[in-house]
Amino acid sequence: MTNSLLALLARVDTPTVCNAIEVAQGKRGFNAFTRGTMLCSAPGEAMVGYARVARIQAVSAPTAPAEEIRARRMGYYEHMSKGPRPAVAVVQDMDVPNAIGAYWGEINTNVHKALGLNGALTDGVMRDLGDLPEGFPVVAGSIGPSHGFVHVVDYGTPVTVHGLTVADGDLVHADRHGALVVPPDVIDTLEAAIEQLFASERIVLDATRDKSIDFEEFKEIWARFENSRT
């Protein structure tokens, strides 16, 4: 991923990336995105990076010996600290749909940011809203007050978050709309596809935003728009 593509992806929202992937592929039908409504700690921010994946649980206390739990926790943080950058943490909560343990709060978000991650995507719980660090958005399944018995189950194997399967190294884009995985075969053409998408959208937006048009004008505008897009 080039620096210019990275900068562009950081500026645009996830629906734009979703549409641009179809422009790059030359067809409709891209479906590697989350399902359902998600919540974002920083609605104006997007995260983009290569996934570092893990699974957690919190409803019940872990049954493994304390030393094993601590070792797994440190192994998790070591895993998050490695891999290609930029990176995002993608963590599946095994308790969903009954998740109660907020893994993503003031402490853990600051730790992950310090380890070089750009944000977190989870179907689990976040908390400490208002105290999370700037530049580290969390896109989560719910908000709650407690951490429960939250503990790491495993890391490094593919996870599923709101219907989206993510593996270590997948390029993820996420914001308040949800998340997606960018197919590897479009990365080289995605920047151009986004610019093409913007050009197509401007045909309609420049002609309609803060203006009044009649139906005949609309038909001509829409014909030009359809001819310009996938």
Q: Is 154 annotated as a binding residue?
A: no
Across the strands, what pairs with 52? 89
Q: What is the pLDDT of residues 107-153, one digit of tens each?
A: 999 999 999 999 999 999 999 999 999 999 999 999 999 999 999 99
Domains of the chain: 31-182 (3.50.30.40), 188-228 (no CATH)
CA distances from 64 to 10, 59, 69, 109, 119 (A): 40, 15, 6, 26, 29
Q: Nearest to residue 55, comparing CAs of 177, 159, 190, 173? A: 159
Integer Cα distance of 162 and 201 in angstroms: 29
What tokens were used for 123? 């179907």
Q: Is 93 annotated as a binding residue?
A: no
Q: What is the pLDDT of residues 10-24, one digit of tens each?
A: 999 999 999 999 999
Per-residue pLDDT at 230: 54
Give SS3 for 104.
Answer: strand
Instruction: Say if strands 138-140 and 39-40 run parallel, antiparallel, or are unpaired.
Output: antiparallel
Per-residue pLDDT at 116: 97
